[in-house]
Amino acid sequence: GLSFGSKYLWTLPMFHCNGWCFTWGVTAMAATHVCLRRVESGRIWDLIDREGVTHYCGAPTVQIGIVNDPKAHTLSRPVTCAVAGAPPSPTLLAKLKELGFRPVHVYGLTETYGPHTVCAWDGAWDRMPADEMAKKAARQGQGYVLFDLVRVVDEQGRNVAMDGETLGEVIMRGNNVMKGYFEQPDATVEAFRGGWFHSGDIAVWHPDGYIELRDRKKDIIISGGENISTIEVEQAVARHPAVMECAVVAIPDERWGERPKAFVTLKPGMKATDGEIIEFCRQHIAHFKCPAAVEFGELPKTSTGKVQKFVLRDREWKGRAKRIN
C-alpha cells in the first residue's frame, strides 16, 4: 500500500478514470508524484532506478512495453504495479513477477469510478507452478470491501453456476457506481436493470468466488454456433515466445459465419509466420478456437494504451451492411 515514503510514477494519464484515484490517493498520503510526459519504456526504467519508484499503474500494453524494453532487468527491490484497462495475459503477469514487480490486477469501468474489483492474492498460490500461479492472478477477483460483491448473471438476472465455465454478464452495485448517463435516461434505465449496473462484460464465476472475464458482449465470436472468447485466443497467442502483444477479432467467414483473426506485434528481432502462430495455438486450445488468419504489425491504440479493436473490426467488415455474417 501507499505510505509517506511511496513514490508513484505517472505512466497512467491523470484524466483517465480519475487516474484510477491515485491522483488523490498519493496526495492524501503526502507521497511523491513522479510525472511522465509520455509513456516511454526506457524512460520508465530510468525513473524506477533513479527516483526509487515504488508504485505505478498501466494497461497491459504499457506493461508489455516495460518488460520487453532493452533496459529491462531484475529489480533490486519490489515495485507494485496495478494492471487494468484490459485483461492481462498470464504470460505478462508471470514476466512481471519474474522481474521483481508485484502486479495487482484490478478491474472496473468509468461508470464505477475506476477499479471495482481486485484479484487479491491467496498465499496458497505461492506453492503453485509459475504458469498456474499466473492463471490465478489473471482473473478479475471480487469487489472491494466498500462495494457489494460482483455477480455474474444470465439473461434473466439469475446467478450463473460458480463452475468456472458458465458464461454470464458481470453486474455491480455500490456507492462508487455512477447515478446514470448524462441526459440519457433510456440508456440509464437499460444499464441499471434490476437495480444493478450491467457492465456489458462476459465472465465466468469460479468456485472460490472470483470472476474471470471472457469478453465484451460485442467481442464474442460466434463461429458455427459456438461461442469463442477473444481473450482466451489472445492468451494462447501471447504464450508464443516471439509475440509481444496481440488482439483478436471476428472476421466474416462464408461457412462458419465468423472466425477469429489474430493481429500480432512481434518482439524486436524475433520472427514467426502465420502458420507457426496458428499451429502453436492448436497445441494449447481447441482447434475451432484457433485463429483462421494472422496479420503482423503495430496495433491501433488509444492515448491510454488500450488496443482499439473496433478499428480492426471496421477494417475486416468494411463494405458489409451488417456485422453478423
Asked whether 325 and 253 are in contact (CB, 8 A), the reply is yes
| 322, part of any domain | no
Of 169, 227, 226, 175, give the one whose Cα is nearest residue 199: 169
Verify that 30 and 123 share a domain, yes or no: yes
| 252, part of any domain | yes
Verify that 12 and 102 share a domain, yes or no: yes
Strands 142-143 and 79-83: unpaired
Q: Which three cell numbers stand for residue 59?
A: 494497461
Verify that 108 and 45 share a domain, yes or no: yes
| 282, part of any domain | yes
The pLDDT, as a whole number, for residue 270 is 96
What's the length of the chain? 325
Q: What CATH number should be reported for the domain holding residue 156?
A: 2.30.38.10
| 2, part of any domain | no
Sort 170 into a burial class: Cβ within 10 Å, 0-12 / 13-18 / 19+.
buried
β-bridge partners, 82: 57, 104
| 13, part of any domain | yes
| 144, part of any domain | no
| 145, part of any domain | no
Question: Cα separation of 97 and 85, whole Å?
Answer: 19
Verify that 123 and 87 share a domain, yes or no: yes
Asked whether 226 and 256 are in contact (CB, 8 A), the reply is no
| 118, part of any domain | yes
Of 123, 121, 62, 67, give the one whose Cα is nearest residue 91: 67
Q: Which three cell numbers stand for residue 131?
A: 504458469
Sort 284 into a burial class: Cβ within 10 Å, 0-12 / 13-18 / 19+.
middle
Count of structural domains, the chain:
3
Verify that 125 and 50 share a domain, yes or no: yes
> pTM of this prediction?
0.83
C-alpha dist (Å) from residue 273 to 202, 253, 270, 280, 282: 31, 22, 11, 11, 14
Domain edge (last residue) among 216, 234, 257: 216
The pLDDT, as a whole number, for residue 319 is 79
Verify that 128 and 56 share a domain, yes or no: yes
- Any residues with CB less than 8 A from the CB of 304 and at least 6 apart, and which? 12, 13, 16, 59, 85
Within 13 Å of residue 57, how many CA atoms lie on the same side as its CB?
25
Q: Where are the beta strands (DSSP E) in the chain?
A: 7-9, 32-34, 55-58, 79-83, 101-109, 114-118, 142-143, 151-153, 168-172, 197-205, 211-216, 221-223, 226-228, 243-253, 257-266, 293-296
Q: What CATH number should be reported for the domain holding residue 131?
A: 3.40.50.980
> What is the domain range of residue 273?
220-317
Verify that 297 and 195 share a domain, yes or no: no
Distance between alpha carbon 102 and the CA centroid of its chain, in Å? 16
The pLDDT, as a whole number, for residue 23 is 92
User: How far apart, in Å, do the first and last CA atoms of the chain sit?
Assistant: 49
Amino acid of residue 34:
V
Per-residue pLDDT of the chain (325 residues; tens, 9 = 90+): 899 999 999 998 888 777 888 999 999 999 999 999 999 999 999 999 999 999 999 989 899 999 999 999 999 999 999 999 888 999 999 999 999 999 999 999 989 988 999 999 999 999 999 889 999 999 999 999 989 999 999 999 999 999 999 999 999 999 999 999 999 999 999 999 999 999 999 999 999 999 999 988 888 898 988 889 999 999 999 999 999 999 999 999 988 999 999 999 999 999 999 999 999 999 999 999 999 999 999 999 987 788 999 999 999 998 776 555 5
Distance between alpha carbon 34 and the CA centroid of its chain, in Å? 25
Report DSSP state, residue 322. -
Q: What CATH number should be reported for the domain holding residue 279?
A: 3.30.300.30
Phi first, then psi, for residue 46 (nearest 5°) are -60, -45
Of 216, 230, 209, give the one whose Cα is nearest residue 150: 209
β-bridge partners, 221: 228
Verify that 183 and 157 share a domain, yes or no: yes
Domain edge (last residue) among 169, 198, 216: 216
Asked whether 64 and 38 are in contact (CB, 8 A), the reply is no
Verify that 12 and 131 share a domain, yes or no: yes
Verify that 120 and 43 share a domain, yes or no: yes
Verify that 67 and 126 share a domain, yes or no: yes
Domain edge (last residue) among 75, 105, 138: 138
The pLDDT, as a whole number, for residue 322 is 54
